[in-house]
Amino acid sequence: MGDTSLWRIFTSMHMDTQKNPDRPQKRSRTERPRNEVLNFAPEPWFPKFLMIYSDDASKSLNKLSPFIVARQLEQLIGKTYIAKKQKNGDVLVEIQTKQQSVALLSLKNIGEVTVSTTAHRTL
């Protein structure tokens, strides 16, 4: 037998196994239904960067433990945020959802320090 006849036998056997409908495909393509409409409506605007600062100059957020601040923020908005302490003692918080924004804007104190929260002016 020549090499070409072996190749024909191999390819014919291989082609038969690919066309077998009883055997599941190795990869299946997921398709969305044709009647499904994609919703590209933008999420309503909300401030994603908020500044938390102390109302009392004698009780700065610098003097608070970062663990107390983190625990208070996690209880209020969950763990999906990024907080950074600024040089002047303020805390910059980046959030993901409008609910987090509303919750942080209503924040009145962290520990025994009275705080105010506003949207960042430039971010």
pLDDT tens-digit series, residues 34-57: 666 666 767 678 888 999 988 888
CA distances in angstroms from 14 to 18, 20, 28, 117, listed in the order given? 7, 10, 19, 68
Phi, then psi, of 13 in degrees rounded to 5 = -65, -40
Amino acid at 99: Q
pLDDT band per the 50, 70, 90 thresholds, residue 28: low
Query: What SS3 string covers 78-108?
Result: CCCCEEEECCCCCEEEECCCHHHHHHHHCCC
Go through the chain and tell me how many residues it has: 123
Query: Which domains does the chain carry?
Result: 49-119 (3.30.70)
Please name the residues in contact with 68: beta carbons below 8 A apart, sequence gap of 6 or more: 110, 111
pLDDT band per the 50, 70, 90 thresholds, residue 92: very high
Looking at residue 50, its pLDDT comes to 92
Say if residue 2's pLDDT is above 60.
no
- Residue showing tokens 């969950």: 78
Q: Are 51 and 92 in contact (CB under 8 A)?
A: yes
